[in-house]
Amino acid sequence: MKKIGIYSFLVAAVLFTGCSQKNVEMDGSSATEQNQSTVNNSESSLDSIDNSNVQEDTVNDTLAQKAENGYYYMINGKKVFIENIYFGFDKYKLNSEMIEKTKDNAKKLADIKPTTKIKIEGNCDEWGTDEYNYALGLKRAKATKDALVSEGINADSISLVSFGESNPVCTEKNKNCWQKNRRAEHKLLP
Protein backbone atom coordinates (compact mmCIF):
# COMPACT_ATOMS: atom_id res chain seq x y z
CA MET A 1 0.00 0.00 0.00
CA LYS A 2 2.89 2.30 0.84
CA LYS A 3 4.49 1.58 -2.56
CA ILE A 4 1.32 2.60 -4.42
CA GLY A 5 1.25 5.87 -2.49
CA ILE A 6 4.91 6.57 -3.28
CA TYR A 7 4.44 5.70 -6.99
CA SER A 8 1.37 7.93 -7.18
CA PHE A 9 3.33 10.78 -5.60
CA LEU A 10 6.22 10.31 -8.06
CA VAL A 11 3.88 10.18 -11.10
CA ALA A 12 2.08 13.31 -9.92
CA ALA A 13 5.41 15.08 -9.32
CA VAL A 14 6.66 14.18 -12.83
CA LEU A 15 3.41 15.38 -14.40
CA PHE A 16 3.39 18.69 -12.55
CA THR A 17 7.10 19.25 -13.17
CA GLY A 18 6.67 18.46 -16.88
CA CYS A 19 3.82 20.90 -17.18
CA SER A 20 5.66 23.65 -15.41
CA GLN A 21 8.70 23.23 -17.69
CA LYS A 22 6.52 23.89 -20.74
CA ASN A 23 5.48 27.20 -19.28
CA VAL A 24 9.06 28.15 -18.42
CA GLU A 25 10.31 27.36 -21.92
CA MET A 26 7.87 29.73 -23.56
CA ASP A 27 9.55 32.70 -25.18
CA GLY A 28 7.59 35.75 -24.21
CA SER A 29 9.10 37.97 -26.87
CA SER A 30 8.17 35.72 -29.78
CA ALA A 31 4.67 35.26 -28.38
CA THR A 32 4.33 39.02 -28.18
CA GLU A 33 5.56 39.34 -31.76
CA GLN A 34 3.06 36.69 -32.88
CA ASN A 35 0.24 38.47 -31.07
CA GLN A 36 1.30 41.77 -32.64
CA SER A 37 1.45 40.10 -36.05
CA THR A 38 -2.02 38.64 -35.52
CA VAL A 39 -3.34 42.04 -34.51
CA ASN A 40 -1.72 43.64 -37.55
CA ASN A 41 -3.15 40.94 -39.85
CA SER A 42 -6.53 41.40 -38.24
CA GLU A 43 -6.40 45.16 -38.72
CA SER A 44 -5.23 44.84 -42.31
CA SER A 45 -8.02 42.36 -43.07
CA LEU A 46 -10.52 44.77 -41.55
CA ASP A 47 -9.10 47.58 -43.68
CA SER A 48 -9.68 45.56 -46.83
CA ILE A 49 -13.39 45.05 -46.13
CA ASP A 50 -15.57 47.13 -48.39
CA ASN A 51 -17.78 49.34 -46.26
CA SER A 52 -18.22 52.05 -48.89
CA ASN A 53 -21.87 51.18 -49.47
CA VAL A 54 -23.04 51.24 -45.86
CA GLN A 55 -24.85 54.57 -46.27
CA GLU A 56 -26.41 53.47 -49.56
CA ASP A 57 -27.51 50.27 -47.90
CA THR A 58 -29.42 52.24 -45.30
CA VAL A 59 -31.20 54.16 -48.05
CA ASN A 60 -31.93 50.94 -49.91
CA ASP A 61 -33.48 49.28 -46.86
CA THR A 62 -36.52 51.51 -47.34
CA LEU A 63 -37.05 49.74 -50.64
CA ALA A 64 -36.72 46.29 -49.17
CA GLN A 65 -38.77 44.28 -46.76
CA LYS A 66 -36.83 41.85 -44.67
CA ALA A 67 -38.09 38.33 -44.11
CA GLU A 68 -36.61 35.63 -41.90
CA ASN A 69 -34.64 34.06 -44.74
CA GLY A 70 -34.20 36.86 -47.29
CA TYR A 71 -35.44 40.19 -48.65
CA TYR A 72 -38.37 41.30 -50.78
CA TYR A 73 -37.45 43.85 -53.45
CA MET A 74 -39.42 45.72 -56.07
CA ILE A 75 -37.83 44.80 -59.40
CA ASN A 76 -39.50 46.16 -62.56
CA GLY A 77 -42.71 46.80 -60.64
CA LYS A 78 -42.90 43.28 -59.24
CA LYS A 79 -42.30 42.29 -55.64
CA VAL A 80 -39.74 39.48 -55.71
CA PHE A 81 -38.15 37.49 -52.93
CA ILE A 82 -34.37 37.08 -52.96
CA GLU A 83 -33.55 34.24 -50.61
CA ASN A 84 -30.45 34.03 -48.42
CA ILE A 85 -27.93 31.32 -49.22
CA TYR A 86 -27.01 29.09 -46.28
CA PHE A 87 -23.85 27.11 -45.68
CA GLY A 88 -22.77 24.14 -43.58
CA PHE A 89 -20.49 24.41 -40.58
CA ASP A 90 -17.06 25.60 -41.68
CA LYS A 91 -18.13 25.39 -45.37
CA TYR A 92 -18.19 27.90 -48.18
CA LYS A 93 -19.20 25.70 -51.10
CA LEU A 94 -22.81 25.60 -52.19
CA ASN A 95 -24.67 22.32 -51.80
CA SER A 96 -27.19 21.26 -54.46
CA GLU A 97 -30.13 22.87 -52.63
CA MET A 98 -28.33 26.22 -52.39
CA ILE A 99 -27.24 26.02 -56.04
CA GLU A 100 -30.93 25.78 -56.99
CA LYS A 101 -31.76 28.76 -54.76
CA THR A 102 -28.95 30.74 -56.34
CA LYS A 103 -30.27 29.92 -59.83
CA ASP A 104 -33.72 31.10 -58.74
CA ASN A 105 -32.23 34.30 -57.29
CA ALA A 106 -30.27 34.88 -60.51
CA LYS A 107 -33.46 34.65 -62.62
CA LYS A 108 -35.07 37.32 -60.45
CA LEU A 109 -31.96 39.52 -60.35
CA ALA A 110 -31.60 39.39 -64.15
CA ASP A 111 -34.37 42.02 -64.37
CA ILE A 112 -32.68 44.70 -62.24
CA LYS A 113 -31.74 48.04 -63.79
CA PRO A 114 -28.21 48.24 -65.23
CA THR A 115 -27.35 50.92 -62.65
CA THR A 116 -28.41 48.78 -59.69
CA LYS A 117 -25.61 47.07 -57.83
CA ILE A 118 -25.83 43.83 -55.88
CA LYS A 119 -23.93 43.60 -52.61
CA ILE A 120 -23.43 40.11 -51.24
CA GLU A 121 -22.78 39.98 -47.51
CA GLY A 122 -21.04 36.90 -46.10
CA ASN A 123 -21.82 35.96 -42.51
CA CYS A 124 -20.66 33.30 -40.06
CA ASP A 125 -21.66 31.72 -36.79
CA GLU A 126 -19.76 32.46 -33.60
CA TRP A 127 -17.28 29.58 -33.94
CA GLY A 128 -13.74 30.44 -34.99
CA THR A 129 -11.50 33.46 -34.57
CA ASP A 130 -12.47 36.88 -35.88
CA GLU A 131 -9.89 36.66 -38.66
CA TYR A 132 -11.04 33.20 -39.70
CA ASN A 133 -14.69 34.20 -39.72
CA TYR A 134 -14.04 37.33 -41.80
CA ALA A 135 -12.16 35.20 -44.34
CA LEU A 136 -14.87 32.52 -44.31
CA GLY A 137 -17.60 35.13 -44.74
CA LEU A 138 -15.78 36.55 -47.74
CA LYS A 139 -15.42 33.07 -49.26
CA ARG A 140 -19.16 32.50 -48.80
CA ALA A 141 -19.94 35.81 -50.47
CA LYS A 142 -17.58 34.96 -53.35
CA ALA A 143 -19.07 31.48 -53.81
CA THR A 144 -22.51 33.10 -54.04
CA LYS A 145 -21.23 35.70 -56.51
CA ASP A 146 -19.61 33.01 -58.68
CA ALA A 147 -22.88 31.09 -58.80
CA LEU A 148 -24.80 34.22 -59.82
CA VAL A 149 -22.22 35.07 -62.49
CA SER A 150 -22.43 31.54 -63.89
CA GLU A 151 -26.16 32.16 -64.30
CA GLY A 152 -25.58 35.32 -66.33
CA ILE A 153 -25.45 38.13 -63.77
CA ASN A 154 -22.82 40.76 -64.65
CA ALA A 155 -19.80 40.29 -62.37
CA ASP A 156 -19.10 44.05 -62.38
CA SER A 157 -22.48 44.73 -60.76
CA ILE A 158 -21.65 42.58 -57.71
CA SER A 159 -19.63 43.70 -54.71
CA LEU A 160 -18.66 41.57 -51.74
CA VAL A 161 -18.40 42.25 -48.03
CA SER A 162 -17.78 40.01 -45.04
CA PHE A 163 -19.28 40.65 -41.63
CA GLY A 164 -17.74 37.52 -40.12
CA GLU A 165 -19.65 36.75 -36.95
CA SER A 166 -20.52 40.40 -36.22
CA ASN A 167 -23.96 40.39 -37.91
CA PRO A 168 -25.91 37.50 -36.37
CA VAL A 169 -29.63 37.13 -36.97
CA CYS A 170 -29.90 34.74 -34.04
CA THR A 171 -28.04 34.77 -30.72
CA GLU A 172 -29.27 31.59 -29.06
CA LYS A 173 -26.75 28.84 -28.35
CA ASN A 174 -28.09 25.96 -30.45
CA LYS A 175 -27.58 24.34 -33.87
CA ASN A 176 -30.63 25.92 -35.53
CA CYS A 177 -29.50 29.38 -34.53
CA TRP A 178 -25.91 28.85 -35.68
CA GLN A 179 -27.22 27.56 -39.03
CA LYS A 180 -29.19 30.78 -39.57
CA ASN A 181 -26.01 32.81 -39.10
CA ARG A 182 -24.01 30.89 -41.76
CA ARG A 183 -25.41 32.77 -44.71
CA ALA A 184 -24.91 35.10 -47.65
CA GLU A 185 -27.44 37.92 -48.02
CA HIS A 186 -28.15 39.93 -51.17
CA LYS A 187 -28.63 43.68 -50.95
CA LEU A 188 -29.65 45.80 -53.92
CA LEU A 189 -28.03 49.21 -54.05
CA PRO A 190 -29.59 51.97 -56.19
- The alpha-carbon radius of gyration of the chain (Å, integer) is 24
* 111-to-58, 76, 94, 180, 189 alpha-carbon distances in Å: 22, 7, 23, 28, 14
pLDDT at 175 over 90: yes
Q: Are 120 and 141 in contact (CB under 8 A)?
A: yes
pLDDT at 86 over 90: yes
Instruction: Give the whole-angstrom CA distance, residue 176 versus residue 174.
Output: 6
Instruction: Give the whole-angstrom CA distance, residue 155 versus residue 183.
Output: 20
Interval 10-36: pLDDT, tens:
555 444 444 333 232 333 333 334 444
3-state secondary structure of 73: strand
Residues 6+ apart with CB under 8 A from 66: 72
* Domains, the chain, with CATH or none: 64-189 (3.30.1330.60)
Q: Are 112 and 154 in contact (CB under 8 A)?
A: no
- Assessment of whether the complete model's pTM goes beyond 0.85: no
Q: How confident is the model at residue 166 (pLDDT cuts 50, 70, 90)?
A: very high
Interval 123-159: pLDDT, tens:
999 999 999 999 999 999 999 999 999 999 999 999 9
Interval 45-69: pLDDT, tens:
444 545 444 434 433 444 688 999 9
List the one residue out of 131, 119, 115 whose CA is nearest residue 47.
131
* Amino acid 70: pLDDT: 96
